[in-house]
Structure 1
């Protein structure tokens, strides 16, 4: 839709595909915010994070501050971009970690219980979800600034917000 709009109006549109975003202010106890929210909520209750399957599912976790800077880079890019431009970009850290890595890092940083690998699974979950952010780096000059280790340490005790009930 954005591509069609840009072509037909001479406008400019960039699509940002965010990978596993985490950071302060995430909603509590909701699978819709991703596994980071579930692990962090469990730790806040004093419970061990429950890791599904074998914990080796691969993801690219990206801090919300890096997502914000990617948004700014995209906005700045559109100011000088040629007319009728549409371009899609993946927004990730560029470093792959497992779900188990995240659970362990959060547990250690929060001085919480060790994660429990349950072997459970959810129908429809994808085993590995990673993508390259190279286009964003080369075309927009964007670079993530928050490392996985630093991000997990900060997120382990960052405030969460109550999930919206509908």
Structure 2
């Protein structure tokens, strides 16, 4: 069965989302670089701030990283004194990871820089439009697992 051509009046968002994501990623990387951070560093620092600390294993699970990669990420952050790793007093085999004061300060600086980058990328939208966009993207992202499964089944049916 062949794919049906799209109605030319039907709008598709994929290319636009990809374009905006690339622009946002490039701007984000450029404002994080002077702070000595990469996006993955920022995500880890945010998780640690929001959780109040974490075991190294739980952090790896949250970030969906394997143990080798999480160690490298934490080594980067620890070298900059943005996090502190120590043995768990309850279980000496576990490491507890916490954000330091310097880490909290750097994270705040990064979030301010990223807000400016987002203002540049989404500058054509009014604040209410940005809020609507955020809510729509959040809702779409929360349904992604359902949509992906349905798309896979549809692809199989259409072959």
Structure with bigger RCO (C-alpha 8 Å, 6+ apart) = 1
The higher radius of gyration belongs to: 2
More helix by share: 2
TM-score computed with the length of structure 2 as normaliser: 0.25
Q: Kindly indicate which of the two structures has a greater share of residues assigned to strand.
A: 1
